[in-house]
Structure 1
Amino acid sequence: MKVGLIGLGVMGYRIGANLVKAGLLKVVYNRTKEKAEKFNREFNVPYVTTSQDVVKTSDVIITMLSDDSAVTSTILSILNEVKGKIIIDMSTISPTTSIEMSNKVKENGGVMFDAPVIGTSVLLEKRKAVILVGGPEDKFSEIRSILDAISENVVYIGENGMGLYAKLVNNLLLGVYVSALGEAYNFGIRAGLKKEQVAKVLIELSSARSPTSELKVPKMMNEDYTTQFATKHMRKDLEIIEREAQKLKVITPLTVHALQYYKMAEALGFSELDFSSVVEIFKKFSPS
């Protein structure tokens, strides 16, 4: 099957690279032409200037976009072309929005899956990220080999929207956990511990140590906020969780607090940088 890709951001670029290595990617599109041109130079994959052109020349279309608005506008723009096509949306958006879009695709003769990713761009590059899939189970076998080319960890969760709900479970925990790491790190430093001592506790000795503490605490220690997952995206995901929680009538007090921390980090100028930069709000607002 011919595979097309819409969206060449941090994650989309790596998805595309993995598909190229598997010999599957035939065409790409990105809203800003410069990224598409760069991808073309690096991988010799042709690019087009509209998302509709991707659909016309592909059997399976993968989208990796920034938010609900971007996914909605893209899906609505290609509805006239989706008959007989399969859409795999790997963006992290509202499950409610995704279900609405999948229904529209189905009404127009196509099939849509949600397939969000757990893991950083580094893990995705190494094919070690996790892909959580929601959509019609009877069609899953048709896309399995494509997703396997992107990452070796592919899990079918359930019907449309379920992959996204599973992803939000992860990001709820992740957002709260990294803000707690930032608070704990700052507490240790202000108490007089050396950076290396606090890092050793959080990474090696703590009963709450994890792969995330191994990844994010060194960034906090070195004030290295080069982006693995941007603060603005964590804030966006926690906002999605809040909206979904309201519909589900679920209390999420820890999410509410963590969301404010990431908003504060954005206000301090860390929006485009890694969300581990949340530690900076604890440092800034702890009086000397």
Structure 2
Amino acid sequence: MRVGLIGLGVMGWRIAANLAAEGLLSAVYNRTRARAEEFSRKFGVRAADGYEDLAKSSDLIITMLSDDAAVRDVALRLMPHISGKILVDMSTISPATSVELAGEAARRGGVMFDAPVIGTSVAVERRAIVVLVGGPREHYAEVEGVLRRTASAVVYVGPNGYGLYAKLVNNLFLGVYLAALAEAFNFGLKAGLSPQFLVDLLTKYSSARSPTSELKAPKLASRDYSTQFAVKHMRKDLEIVQEEARRLKAPLPLSS
């Protein structure tokens, strides 16, 4: 299966690199062409001239983009060329937008899946991400066969939009947890506890210890604020959660 990828940001670049190493990637495209050309030089994968060019050389197209507006813009540009293709959007966007675009793809003879990711850029490099997939079950095997080349687990959640709902549940939990972790760490510092003791407490002894505290507590202690998942993206995801919660009439007092 020939795979094309659109969006060579922090996550998209690494996913593309994994697929290139597997010999699956036929072409890449990025809004800033220099980025695609850099990838092409490094991995020997063709930089497509545009959306039509990429679609013609791909059976399955992956998008990894920043927000609803970017996904909508790219998807609508792909729609004239979507017949007989599978579009897999790995971005985190609103389920409503994804379902709408999936319907348009189906009307044009194509198939679309939402496939957001749990994991950081480091996890992508290690092929340790989890991909949560929503879309038509009858085409899932084709999608899973590609995604497992860059992930430790690929999970079919349900119809279109359900992969995104699962991702939003995860990020709601993660956002509240990270805020609590930061507050607890700062409280301990103000009380006079040493940074190293707090790391040990939160990663070894606490009943709330987790892979997240194991990753982030040492960074808090060393004041390492390097980006692994940008705050602007978490804020965007939590804004989607709040919009969906209002629609579903689901009270969210901690994250509001």
TM (norm. structure 1) is 0.87
Distance 2:49 2:205 in 1: 52
Match of 2:41 in 1: 41
Distance 2:37 2:78 in 1: 22
Are 1:213 and 2:196 an aligned pair?
no
SS of the residue corresponding to residue 208 of structure 2 reads coil
User: Which string of whole-angstrom CA distances, capped at 9 and with x for unpartnered residues, describes residues 12-40 of structure 1?
Assistant: 01110110111100100011122212211
Structure 2's unaligned 5+ residue stretches are none
Distance 1:119 1:70 in 2: 21
Shift of 1:46: 0.9
Distance 2:51 2:192 in 1: 55
Match of 1:20 in 2: 20
Match of 2:241 in 1: 241
Shift of 1:220: 1.3
Shift of 1:180: 0.5
Distance 1:122 1:111 in 2: 30
Match of 1:117 in 2: 117
Structural mapping, 1:133-212, within 5 Å: 133-212=133-212
Distance 1:49 1:31 in 2: 10
Shift of 1:80: 0.7
Match of 2:84 in 1: 84
Shift of 1:5: 0.1
Structural mapping, 1:86-105, within 5 Å: 86-105=86-105
Match of 2:29 in 1: 29
TM (norm. structure 2) is 0.98
Q: Percent identity among equivalent residues?
A: 57
Distance 1:70 1:52 in 2: 17
Structure 1's unaligned 5+ residue stretches are 257-288
Distance 1:56 1:163 in 2: 27
User: Which string of whole-angstrom CA distances, capped at 9 and with x for unpartnered residues, describes residues 200-243 of structure 1?
Assistant: 11111110000000111111111112111111110010001001
Match of 1:3 in 2: 3
Shift of 1:152: 2.7
Question: What is the CA RMSD across the aligned residues, in angstroms?
Answer: 0.9
Distance 2:138 2:65 in 1: 26
Distance 2:101 2:225 in 1: 35
One-letter code of the match for 1:193?
A: L
SS of the residue corresponding to residue 255 of structure 1 reads coil
Distance 1:71 1:179 in 2: 29
Are 1:50 and 2:50 an aligned pair?
yes
> Bigger CA drift: 80-89 or 197-206?
197-206
One-letter code of the match for 2:163?
A: G
Distance 2:41 2:185 in 1: 43
Distance 2:254 2:37 in 1: 42
Task: Report the count of equivalent residues.
Answer: 256
Distance 1:142 1:197 in 2: 48
SS of the residue corresponding to residue 228 of structure 2 reads coil
Match of 2:227 in 1: 227
